[in-house]
Structure 1
Amino acid sequence: MTFYTSGINEAERLSASADGVLEMVRTQELLRRYLPPAPARVLDVGGGPGTHARWLIEGGYHVHLVDPVPRHIEQAQRIEGCTVALGDARQLAAEKESYDVVLLLGPLYHLLERDDRDQALAEAYRVLRPGGLFAAAGINRYASLFEHTAFAHLYRERMQESVGNILRTQIHDGKKAFTAAYFHTGEQLREEVTEAGFDAEVFGIEGPTWAMLKATEQYTGESVIDSPLFNSALTAARMAEPYPELLAASSHLLAIGHRRA
């Protein structure tokens, strides 16, 4: 939580860079593919400042957002029609089977221990109606390798050690630069949500060329959000969907499915 209270502006993360916009566009289009018709009741667990709640509300959905960071709750309160509450994904205040959709687009990678992730998934199962839509995001195990290659950091021995440790342990301890986080493989994410009672498919959100966008902006100093390169990266993400081996190349993973009865 310290990472999000120390000046990091989560509200800008999905709009300030090309790979952030790619994550936003792809998350939206994947969710829209499965969302029930509006108005459905959506519980946005770990919804941050309301980045996804905003477009869902604009689409006619009823959204209640829960987040453990007071700053995020203050930001989300400014979204007209969004109800909010300070809370923990592992202990939701919502009643049993009270939502049509439950989103966990952040909590799983902030929970380093499997028991904690299982508890968050059990709570999502509890508050979702049978047959309701469930979606959970994870950070890909290899994301830090691609990111620090794009930033040309890997010539430094200290960075090689840091990234190598993430690759081995699948955990970032949060002591430097980034929040404490767990890094999933696609198969692990599928296993966790399946064992929790969801029938789910796992998608690579950004696809295999997101780091190219990051590297280009790093070295040109210019945005490529409206460029042919961005459009090509977006197309590549869509084309990669039928090939599960390409999940390992994406920055984030998204498990989408439904609660079994």
Structure 2
Amino acid sequence: MDLVTHYAAGPAEHTRLARTPHGRLEYLRTRELLRRFLPETARILDVGGGTGIHAEWLAAEGHAVHLVDLVPDHVAHAATLPGVTAETGDARNLTAPDAAFDAVLLLGPLYHLVDPADRARSLAEGRRVLRPGGLLAAAGISRYLSLLETATAGTLTAEQVAPIRTVIETGEYDGHVGFVPTHWHTSAELRDEVATAGFPDVSVYGVEGPAWPALDAAGPGRFDTLAEAALRAARIAEQDPRLIDVSAHLLAVAHRPH
């Protein structure tokens, strides 16, 4: 199934980060990390930005946001958001001119691009459209997501052992817990890919931290009670080399050299 068909047939993308406790945690932590590194006002290119989940709050906080996404329905929705412009496009071949943006977000493309050469092209395009000194924020899915999710939920079956081992060892995710086949990263791999694209100062952060599976197990009704402790845990572990990969998502932050 191609990505346009997948997103057209699946659950509404604009509710993705609100449907589960760990999705809500992902949203809060991604917003927290982006706020930490973005300048006060910036020209932001949100590549693979979906329906504008992050573009909406970024624009509301005074940033000028242009969103690019492969799915026309996503682009149509994002274009209705105040302060957001949007176009259909491919992360590997951006239409933006060189050095046009203060920040580039790649919060979705890297895991959908299963060929390493395509990920390299996407990162190279992100570097090209950044001004010198501009910020790159690139997300990956952790190779340990399905292991932690199924083990905590009690749904880890004998049949899932082999594909879970495969994704941990190779990054090749075959869809065994839903979603389309994608590439999942380790923090070291994500750091190396961004550095190889010409970003020498890469830092990688664990987004959700170690408590996200427990939030899902507790259920949506307890999120408001448990979220603050989970956020504190995520901050403590965000760059701990022994814990970073237990986050469901990873975020690489780097700057284009002057």
**TM-score of the superposed pair, with normalisation by structure 1:** 0.93
* Residue 191 of structure 1 pairs with residue 189 of structure 2: no
1:13 to 13, 16, 25: 16
Q: Which amino acid aligns with 1:241?
A: E
Q: Which amino acid aligns with 1:187?
A: A
For the 8 Å contact 1:172–1:180, the answer to whether it is kept is yes
Closer/same/farther in 2, CA of residues 146 and 194 from structure 1, 3 Å limit: same
For the 8 Å contact 2:60–2:83, the answer to whether it is kept is no
Q: How far has the Cα of 1:71 moved from its partner?
A: 1.6
Q: Provide the aligned length of Structure 1 versus Structure 2.
A: 254
Say which SS state the counterpart of residue 54 (structure 2) adopts.
Answer: helix
Q: Which amino acid aligns with 1:16?
A: R
Alignment partner, residue 180 of structure 1: 181
Alignment partner, residue 245 of structure 1: 242
* Residue 72 of structure 1 pairs with residue 74 of structure 2: yes
Closer/same/farther in 2, CA of residues 176 and 232 from structure 1, 3 Å limit: closer
**TM-score of the superposed pair, with normalisation by structure 2:** 0.94
Closer/same/farther in 2, CA of residues 37 and 176 from structure 1, 3 Å limit: closer
Q: Which amino acid aligns with 1:6?
A: A
Structure 2: gaps of 5 or more residues: none
Alignment partner, residue 210 of structure 1: 212
* CA distance in structure 1 between the aligned counterparts of 2:64 and 2:77, rounded to whole angstroms: 18
* CA distance in structure 2 between the aligned counterparts of 1:194 and 1:164, rounded to whole angstroms: 27
* CA distance in structure 1 between the aligned counterparts of 2:174 and 2:162, rounded to whole angstroms: 13
- RMSD in angstroms over aligned alpha carbons? 1.4
* Residue 36 of structure 1 pairs with residue 39 of structure 2: yes
* Residue 234 of structure 1 pairs with residue 231 of structure 2: yes
* CA distance in structure 2 between the aligned counterparts of 1:124 and 1:99, rounded to whole angstroms: 9
Task: Render the CA deviation track for 1:110-142: whole Å, top value 9, x for unaligned.
Answer: 111110000000000000001001100000111
Closer/same/farther in 2, CA of residues 175 and 245 from structure 1, 3 Å limit: closer
For the 8 Å contact 2:111–2:141, the answer to whether it is kept is yes
Alignment partner, residue 163 of structure 2: 162
Task: Render the CA deviation track for 1:139-166: whole Å, top value 9, x for unaligned.
Answer: 0111111111122111x22222332332
* Residue 137 of structure 1 pairs with residue 139 of structure 2: yes
Closer/same/farther in 2, CA of residues 24 and 176 from structure 1, 3 Å limit: closer
Aligned sequence identity (%): 49
Q: How far has the Cα of 1:242 moved from its partner?
A: 4.3
* CA distance in structure 1 between the aligned counterparts of 2:186 and 2:165, rounded to whole angstroms: 16
Structure 1: gaps of 5 or more residues: none
For the 8 Å contact 1:200–1:255, the answer to whether it is kept is yes
Task: Render the CA deviation track for 1:20-59: whole Å, top value 9, x for unaligned.
Answer: 1110111111111110121x21000000000000000000
**113-122 or 167-176: bigger deviation:** 167-176
Q: Which amino acid aligns with 2:243?
A: L
* CA distance in structure 1 between the aligned counterparts of 2:162 and 2:168, rounded to whole angstroms: 10
* CA distance in structure 2 between the aligned counterparts of 1:225 and 1:14, rounded to whole angstroms: 13
2:30 to 24, 27, 34: 27
Q: Which amino acid aligns with 1:225?
A: F
* CA distance in structure 1 between the aligned counterparts of 2:176 and 2:163, rounded to whole angstroms: 11
For the 8 Å contact 1:17–1:225, the answer to whether it is kept is no
* CA distance in structure 2 between the aligned counterparts of 1:124 and 1:232, rounded to whole angstroms: 35
* CA distance in structure 2 between the aligned counterparts of 1:176 and 1:211, rounded to whole angstroms: 14
Structure 1 residues 1-150: aligned runs within 5 Å: 1=3, 2-38=5-41, 40-150=42-152
Task: Render the CA deviation track for 1:75-125: whole Å, top value 9, x for unaligned.
Answer: 112202211000000000000000010000010011111100000000000
